[in-house]
Each structure stands twice: as C-alpha cells, then as structure tokens.
Chains A and B, each alone.
Chain A
Amino acid sequence: MIILSVESSCDETSVSIIRDGINVLSNIVLSQIDIHKAYGGVVPEIASREHIKGITMVFEKALNIANIKKDEIDLVAVTKGPGLIGSLLIGVNAAKAFAFSNDIDIVGVHHIAGHIYANALTKDLVFPLICLVVSGGHTELILMKEHFDFRKLGETMDDAVGEAYDKVARTVGLGYPGGPLVDELAFTGEPNYKMPDISLGKTYNFSFSGIKSHVINLVHNIKQRNEEINIPDLCASFQETVSEVLVTKSIRAIEEYDAKMFMIAGGVAANKGLRKKIDERINNVEVIVPEFKYCTDNAAMIGVAGYYQYLKTKKTDNMRLNGSSRIDLV
C-alpha cells in the first residue's frame, strides 16, 4: 500500500511517499526556520504564506524522488491538527485537491499520532508500550495496548517542555530555536544551580511553568547583584531537573502497565540530555527513539500513522475534512 502524506501544521512544508508504512520512498521537508529566526519564533501569517509558496514544488519533488506514478498511490494522509490553523489549512486543502484530482481516498491524521509513529520507522512496535511525547506544544505520557489505541496517562498542566526550553534559552540570551542550544550547553556545564521540585507527587501530570519562572527570577537576581551567570551550569541544572522528572514518571508508567517497550516522540525527542538519561535509567524494557530526521515535523511520520490508522479503522474522510488548531489525540 502506497501512501502520499502531507504535513504543514507549523513551519515545515512536507510531503512524503511511503510503502506499507515502513519503506520511505521520499520525504521532502521545506523548512522555514531561517525565515522565522529574525522574529525569535514562528510568525503564523508568515508561515501560512510560505506554505502556499512551496506546496506544489514539495509535492513535485516527493513524487520525482519516489519515482512513482500518481495512479500507484492508494491513500492520501494529511495532518488535520493540532497546529497553527492557517498553516494546517494549506496542507489539508492541498491534500484534498490532490486526492480529488487523482481519485484517491484521504484520511486526516492527528499530528501527535504522527510523532508517535515516527518510531515505527525504527522498529516494529511491541505492546503494551509507553510513549513519552515531548515537543514545543506537547508533553504527554501515552499508553498503547495495540496499534492506534492511545490512552493518555498524564500531560502538562501548563507549559510544554519544549516551550520551557525555549523560554530558558531566551532568558539567557541564546538564539532561536533555543531548545537545542540549551541541550548542547548543558553538556559543558555542571548542575550546580538549585532548581525547584517539579515532581507533582504521584500523578503522571507535569508542570514546567514553575521551573521556568525560577530560572527567569534567578537570572534576574544574579544580574541585579552584578554577578556573572554561568550559562552552561544553568542549562545543565535546568536540563537535569526536567529530564529527571520526565524519565522518573516514564519508569513508573512502564512498571505500572507492565510495558514491553518504551519510546519517545516529538521535537524534544532529539534532546541529547534526555536520550542519555533514558539510556542510563531505562534498561528493563526495549527502548526506541526516532531517528533525528524524524523527530522534527515531517510528512513521513504522518504517512506511517495514516497507514496504521487506516488498517485499524478502515475509515476514510471526505471532502469536508477540515483542519483544527486544537484537537485531542484521545
């Protein structure tokens, strides 16, 4: 089964062609990151304008590289949300127009299902499994007992972990996107700054606004005293506390639900500090992490998720399919 998939929920315009949910024939990602750098974050209206500029070119490249004909495509899968609405609507309508023009069925796919299924490109999923979803917009612990069956065990009560990383980066004057820079600097420092307890006790929920405010206040106070901030140490302290809470709750979920597999998903899954801690601490179940190129937004992951969604539900959408900025996975 050949799926053409489309992802445009934020600032990446992406089209992929994938066979049987595993064989990526092409995965074109047109990133706008350099455009948004000047603004210190993604500007929604600019993102939408860039999506429509690039969309047909990205389709064309994906088809050329995969070297398949349109009539070989069995299904179109597209991110229906969550994300920036103006951005989503470009992908959804381009995908509908493509599906309609070529008489192909279409399915709308949840963006987070895509991030989770990026892992299936690394290894076959084994159930039950626990997935830690960490990105700029999400922090969730998900239990899966079979394919395309998601149960949310917990989520962030305030900021997403990626958001907190970016805020810390801005506070100490690093560029955009700041998360990866904090991660990098953390490895050159020691966790010497005291951080607040963010464990929230026994729940599977998270909270990162407290530690974010703590860092902002800390930096403010150090500056007031005219002292130097040790940025690597600050990054190391922040990263240690955050990755510790993520991994500790993951381990508890793995034990409680007798998981056979643990995986991480989302943009922050590329975080090396988090990967290292998982490596050190989670040893009694199989651990998979997505390849770096499938951590950030891309259409291949939507194609994989669309494949398993279709196998499980046998349902397709119609031409009324719409994008939605807020939509729950479960």
Chain B
Amino acid sequence: MKKLLKRLVIDSASKFLYIALYNDLECLGKYYAEGNNDHSVKLMSEIERIFVSNNIKVKDLDEIIIGIGPGSYTGLRIGVVVAKMFAWNNKIPVRTVSSLAMFASSSSFNGLILSEIDARRGNSFLGLYRKTGKTLVLEDEEKLSNLENYKESIKESFEVVSKGEPNIEVLLNSDILTQVKDIHGLNPNYLRITEAERNLS
C-alpha cells in the first residue's frame, strides 16, 4: 500500500493566516482566520493545537508547503521562519509556493483569476492565474501595481480573489511548487527592495 504523506501547509503572507495538516488529500486539522496583527501569537499555538489533537510531532512530517509571498506584511516572515526552522531541525523537505497562487487555488472559477494581496499606499501584489479544472498556470509575472490599473490591462473576463483557503489538490496538481534545495537559503519573496535601499541608489 502506498504510504500516505503528511503535509503541513502554511501561509501567513497576508492578514489571513492559513495552517493545515494533511494526510495526502485528507485534512486532519486546520486554522484559517483573518488576523489582527497576531500571526506571531496564533501560528505556533494553532500548530500545537492541531498537532496535539492528531498526536503528531514535527518529525513525523513528510513535507512542508510554505507560502512565501509576495508580501510586505511582517506576518509573512513568521510563517517562513517557522517552516524554515521545522525543516532545518528535522530535515523535512520543503516546497515553496506563491501566496497569490494559494489564493487563486481557492477559487472555484474556471478561467482567469486575478489574485491580490494589499501592499498599502494604493498598491497591491498581483498575480494573474488561469485555472482549468484542477490546474493553475501563471499567466503574467507577479507584480506590485495598482489593482485598478492592472485590471484595465486584462482583456478577458476574470475573477478577483484576495482571500480563501488554498485547495491542496489544485496546488499539488499544478506546476507551481518549487523544491527548496538548501534550507538556509529559504527566504520570503518580498518582490521589492526596501525603501531605504531604493533611496540609497
């Protein structure tokens, strides 16, 4: 019999926090809620709750899937640092995925999906995906832009998604996951340099 894979999926790139423990496609426990600047309190305490209720330890994980942004929200780093520590501590394989793709996967819409994470000051992190059945394909490079301006550039009908629980089946079925080869090198995707660096150059 094929061994079932235990996967921990985390995304903390936006104000929504998503944590789920899967046994293949079966969800053993999850947490999904809009946070109030408290990902740092919720992430580890909810992981503990889910793991304890399933009698699972970090070392039992077969894989971690981590949303790595884009984002600028401090919360983004909290998910990534926990995934990084778990993976390093127990030599667990990690695959990264765009947090925008995670949102896009949550939609039941078939066609173009514009995934959005607020980046403040009138800007958003944007990813244009095409969903066909259970497959997601990135249509245009992810960018930091004004949502309304970007919408005007899209010539087809589309759906805007800025929250939602990822669909693990869609994520696993699409060519959007990237294997982390060196765990020390796992970092969030900020998509832009800091203001200080911009001002310096």
Residues of A within 8 A of B77 (CB): 48, 52, 86, 89-90
The interface centre, meaning the residue of A46, A101, A323 with most chain B CB atoms within 10 A of its CB, is: A101
* B40 on the A face (CB < 8 A): yes
Within 8 A of B (CB), among A51-65: 52-53, 55-57, 59-60
Q: A56 to B184: give the CA distance in the assembly, Å.
A: 6
Residues of B within 8 A of A59 (CB): 85, 88
Known contacts A86-B77, A100-B58, A43 near B40 by CB under 8 Å? no
Given A38-B200, A59-B88, A101-B86 in contact, is the A319-B81 Cβ separation under 8 Å?
no
B85–A98 touching, CB < 8 Å = yes
Check B84–A55 contact: CB distance below 8 A: yes
**Contact in complex: B81, A55 (CB < 8 Å):** yes
Please tell me if the beta carbons of A43 and B89 are within 8 angstroms of each other in the complex: no
In the complex, which residues of chain A have a beta carbon less than 8 angstroms from the beta carbon of B66? none
Which parts of A271-330 form the interface with B (CB within 8 Å)? 318-323
Given contacts A45-B194, A56-B184, A57-B184, contact A97 B44 (CB under 8 A): yes
Assembly CA distance A97 to B61 (angstroms): 14
- In the bound complex, how far is the Cα of B10 from the Cα of A97, in angstroms? 13
Q: Given that A52-B187, A90-B77 are contacting pairs, would A97 and B85 also be in contact in the complex, using a CB cutoff of 8 Å?
A: yes
Chain A residues contacting B195 (CB-CB under 8 Å) are 45
CB of B59 within 8 A of CB of A101, answer yes
Q: In the bound complex, do residue B90 and residue A318 qualify as a contact, i.e. CB atoms below 8 Å apart?
A: no
Q: Which residues of A contact B188 (CB under 8 A)?
A: 52
Q: Could you give, for residues 6-50 of chain A, a 1 whenever the CB lies within 8 Å of some chain B CB and a 0 otherwise?
A: 000000000000000000000000000000001100010110110
Q: Mark interface residues in B35-78 (1 if CB within 8 Å of A CB, else 0).
A: 00010110111011000000001110000000000000010011
CB neighbours of A52 from chain B (8 A) = 77, 80-81, 84, 187-188
Asked whether, in the complex, the Cβ of B40 is within 8 Å of the Cβ of A323, the reply is yes
Residues of B within 8 A of A53 (CB): 187
- Chain B, range 79-132, C-beta contacts under 8 Å to A: 80-82, 84-86, 88-90
Chain A residues near B82 (CB, 8 Å)?
Answer: 93-94, 96-97
Asked if A92 lies at the interface with its beta carbon under 8 angstroms from chain B, I say yes
B183: Cβ under 8 A from any A Cβ: yes
Number of interface residues of B (CB under 8 A): 33
Report the minimal beta-carbon distance from A124 to chain B, rounded to whole angstroms: 35
B48, B84, B85, B190: which has the most chain A beta carbons within 10 Å?
B85
**With A46-B196, A48-B74, A100-B58 given, is the CB distance from A94 to B41 under 8 Å?**
no
Residue from the list B43, B48, B57, B196 in contact with A93, Cβ < 8 A = B43
Given contacts A43-B196, A57-B184, A322-B41, contact A94 B59 (CB under 8 A): no
A318 touching B187, Cβ below 8 Å = no
B197 CB–A CB distance under 8 Å: yes
Question: Is the pair A101, B40 in contact by a Cβ cutoff of 8 Å?
Answer: no
Which 6 residue pairs of A and B lie closest in terms of their CB atoms, listed nearest first?
A97-B85, A319-B44, A56-B88, A319-B45, A101-B58, A43-B196
Q: Chain A residues in contact with chain B, CB under 8 A?
A: 38-39, 43, 45-46, 48-49, 52-53, 55-57, 59-60, 70, 85-86, 89-90, 92-94, 96-98, 100-103, 318-323
16 CB < 8 A contacts A-B: A38-B200, A39-B196, A39-B200, A48-B77, A52-B188, A55-B84, A56-B85, A56-B88, A59-B88, A94-B82, A94-B84, A100-B47, A100-B58, A101-B86, A321-B44, A322-B40
